[in-house]
Structure 1
Amino acid sequence: MQKRKSINDIAKDLNVAISTVSAVLNGKAEERRISTGMTKKVLEYAEKIGYQPNMIARSLRTGKSNIIGMLVEDISDPFFASIARLVEKNAALHNYKLFYSSTENNASKAKGLIRAFRDQQVDAYIIAPTPGIEKEIQLLLNEKAPLVLFDRFFPNIPTNNIVVDNFGGALNATNHLLKNGYKNIAFITLRSKQKQMTDRLEGYIEAVNQQLKPAYINQIDYLFSEEILQEKIEQYINKNPQLDAIFFATNYLAISGLRALKKIGLKIPNEVAVLGFDDNTHFNLFTPSITSVAQPIEKISEEIVRVLIKNIQHNISESDRENVVLQTELIVRESSVKL
């Protein structure tokens, strides 16, 4: 494999000063009073050899990499994929590139990725944090690194947070099922202490308690495969034949739940209603279509970039950090209304 050409190599090939090549390639030819002919010569040669700048070296020179590091739970999840795509688009308007990776809700992996981003000298961080990385988040804050947490956050750490009203969204969704005549509503969720998951659980509990209805809660480990998730949901439904509605706390739990219900043979919505938190691009195509609590993905993405760019451009104090709470939307479809 041919060695990548550096600024030093270009200067040697053209028999000109390294400072001249550097000035041209960094857009400072006019400032350094480099002739039009020399500028053209350097640029044409750089294009000819396919010159690519060393981003780490550039960041050492300028103190900026124009790269944002983003960590999500699972980039294949429709929610996180949509957020990342829109954040990438909005960040590009400010001349920033986005590097993103999945933590798989694993604290050890998340810590390693944060270290890797720091080694790459990214300018800022966007993180959907997993439990167990509190020290790493605090270290970034101590280093005054521009940082935004989204989807969930650590209540005891003063960070910029972009979240939705998970409690209110779950409360409203559960009340919708109750108003449509469903009385034995299960809440199938993850065994998790993450803020967004505990808020959704508390919203469900508040709604059934207000109406003096029984609470049916099934908490499942995050690391289970899709097959085991489906099996666990099947077992729970079979053990609780009195259930007439199921509220799934995430869209992928809803997908596994729909497979389980199909296998069991229960008809939606007359025998059992279904509702999911987080909309899925295909939920409106199902038969019957699936009711869901939708998060404002475009607004979340816009707010992430707005707050982060503000943090990059200004030295934000702890008291100026923002906690943005956005509202969800209940999209009522066929799966939660009795025919």
Structure 2
Amino acid sequence: MAKLSIKDIAQRCNTSITTVSFVLNGRADEKRISRDLKEKILKTIEDTGYKQNQFARGMRTGKTNIIGLIIEDISNVFFSAVARIIEEDAYKRGYKIIYCSTDDNTEKTKELIKLFIEQNLDGYIITPPKGLEDEIQLMINNKIPVVLFDRYFVDLETDYVVVDNFNASKKAVQHLFDSGFENIALVTTSSDQTQMVERLNGYEKTLIKNGKKPKILKIPFNQSAEENIKAISTYLKKNKELDAIFFSTNYLAFKGLEAISQLKLKIPDDLAVVAFDDQDFFRIYNPSISAIGQPVKDISLKLIDILLQKMESDEKPIEKITLSTNLIVRNSSIKVK
């Protein structure tokens, strides 16, 4: 059986498409549509099982009640946790979420934004890759509600929710020094996005403060897991004086732990470890891994709050939110006496 359209419903009820649309959108009383006709249309919809296309509805009403969540990697534990909380809270407020991964690919992100704008989504939450400034500025100029998170563009005046990456990194590295470790390396990405730059700066500042020279391994974002493990393993073999590592992301920490295991190094006896972005995995790993915990729930709820406010009024003042993190000390960074 062919899928019914709003035109088919109108024909069966011997009325206009516009009238059916008003009934579907809850405007029958406002448009003074008779009770009999309203009930006839609703009964026809029920009997035929007609389902309104939400995107088509949005084209007519200017509202789809759908939010686009465009993030770096939905398989990443941090991003998936944020997505889940946003989805739950948005649903309670009458909105549905469509989310997708950018893989930190600028061209892919541009295509996704274009696709979603064509579908008339109501608002957007985005973790923007490098080079997306023009697209975000165009959205702002066209009064399309958008909030950035995890990172932002320094020269772009827009809403965002991030954490204090600089001080989080300083706290993690100073903890290693205070625990008696001296030769501390940073394993990070080659990205120059704000969150990664701030973590790098926090590490470097703390090393210099403690009279040490920074030792940094930068790994390209798009390398495979195997390549990451190999790069970390090679770096550790060449720098045997290291006694601690700070991993700037959770996925680098995962691969770093594999490299450390392959080299048969003991944590923390041979090498202490602290990771950015705490996960359950770090808590149950043996030994348990010290980590920077991000306030996932606060980030998620703040994001949806700001976006919904912007969707209600394009005159809403810009909010730039920076949230604090928490250093969770576990066995991986406690020096064995």
- Which residue does the alignment assign to 1:193? 192
Identify the residue that residue 26 of structure 1 maps to in structure 2: 25
Normalising by structure 2, we get a TM-score of 0.95
**Residues 77-118 of structure 1: per-residue CA shift (max 9 Å, x gap):** 011111111111122233221111111011110111111111
Shift of 1:243: 0.7
SS in 2 for 1:113: helix
In the TM superposition, 1:80-99 aligns within 5 A as 80-99=79-98
Please identify, of 264-273 and 20-29, the stretch whose mean Cα deviation from structure 2 is larger.
Answer: 20-29
The corresponding residue for 2:170 is 171
Q: CA shift at 1:70, angstroms?
A: 1.5
Q: CA deviation at 1:56?
A: 3.0
Letter of the 2:245 counterpart:
I
- Secondary structure of the equivalent of 1:282? helix
Instruction: State the 1:176 CA deviation.
Output: 0.6
* In structure 1, C-alpha distance between the alignment counterparts of 2:28 and 2:131, rounded to whole Å: 49
The correspondence of residues 207-222 of structure 1 with structure 2, limited to 5 A, is 207-222=206-221
Q: Which residue of 1 aligns with 2:328?
A: 331
Aligned to 1:286: 285
Mapping 1:214-253, distance limit 5 Å? 214-253=213-252
Secondary structure, in 3 states, of the residue corresponding to 2:176? helix
Q: Which amino acid in structure 2 is aligned with residue 106 of structure 1?
A: N
Counterparts of 2:36 and 2:309, CA distance in 1: 40
Rounded Cα–Cα distance in structure 2 between residues aligned with 1:16 and 1:114: 37
Q: For structure 1, which segment, 36-45 or 254-263, has the greater mean C-alpha deviation from structure 2 after superposition?
A: 36-45
Which residues in structure 2 correspond to 1:288-327 (within 5 Å)? 288-316=287-315, 320-327=317-324
Partner SS, residue 288 of structure 1: coil
Q: Tell me which residue corresponds to 2:205.
A: 206
1:147 correspondence with 2:146: yes
CA shift at 1:47, angstroms? 2.9
Map Cα deviations across residues 172-220 of structure 1 (whole Å, 9 max, x no partner): 0001111000100110000011000000000011111111123110001
1:79-158 aligned at under 5 Å gives the runs 79-158=78-157
Q: Percent identity?
A: 45
Query: Cα offset for 1:334?
Result: 1.1
SS of the equivalent of 2:98 reads strand
Where does residue 266 of structure 1 map in the other structure? 265
Task: Tell me how far apart the structure 2 counterparts of residues 45 and 74 of structure 1 sit (CA, whole Å).
Answer: 43
Q: Tell me the distance in 1 between the aligned counterparts of 2:256 and 2:36.
A: 67
- Alpha-carbon distance between aligned partners in 2 of 1:6 and 1:172, rounded to the nearest angstrom: 59
Please name the residue that 2:62 is paired with.
Answer: 63
Q: Which amino acid aligns with 1:308?
A: L
Cα deviation for residue 15 of structure 1 reads: 3.3
SS for the counterpart of 1:218 is strand
1:138-184 Cα distance to aligned partner (Å, 9 max, x none): 11111111110100000000010100000000000001111000100
Give the Å deviation of 1:16: 4.0
5+ residue gaps, structure 1, are: none
**Distance in 2 between residues matched to 1:59 and 1:302, nearest whole Å:** 25
Q: CA deviation at 1:125?
A: 1.2
My pick for the range that moved more, 48-57 or 114-123, is 48-57
Aligned-residue CA RMSD (Å): 1.5
Question: Whole-Å Cα distance in 1 between the matches of residues 92 and 84 of structure 2?
Answer: 13
Distance apart, 1:43 and its partner CA? 2.5
- What is the distance in 2 between the residues matched to 1:256 and 1:24? 56
Query: Matched residue of 2:280: which SS?
Result: coil
Question: Where does residue 76 of structure 2 map in the other structure?
Answer: 77
CA distance in 2, matches of 1:49, 1:166: 55
In 1, Cα distance between equivalents of 2:263 and 2:158: 45
User: Could you tell me which amino acid in structure 2 is paired with residue 338 of structure 1?
Assistant: K
- Report the alpha carbon displacement of residue 325 of structure 1 after superposing the two structures with TM: 0.4
What per-residue deviation string (whole Å, max 9, x for no partner) do you get for residues 19-47 of structure 1?
44323322233434445554444333323
After superposition, the C-alpha distances for 1:282-321 in whole angstroms (9 at most, x for unaligned) are: 211111111110110000011101111111111236xx21
Letter in 1 for 2:335: K
169-178 or 84-93: which moved more?
84-93
TM-score, scaled relative to structure 1? 0.95
Unaligned runs of 5+ in 2: none
- AA in 1 matched with 2:114: R
Q: Distance in 1 between matches of 2:22 and 2:166?
A: 54
Tell me the distance in 1 between the aligned counterparts of 2:267 and 2:124.
Answer: 42
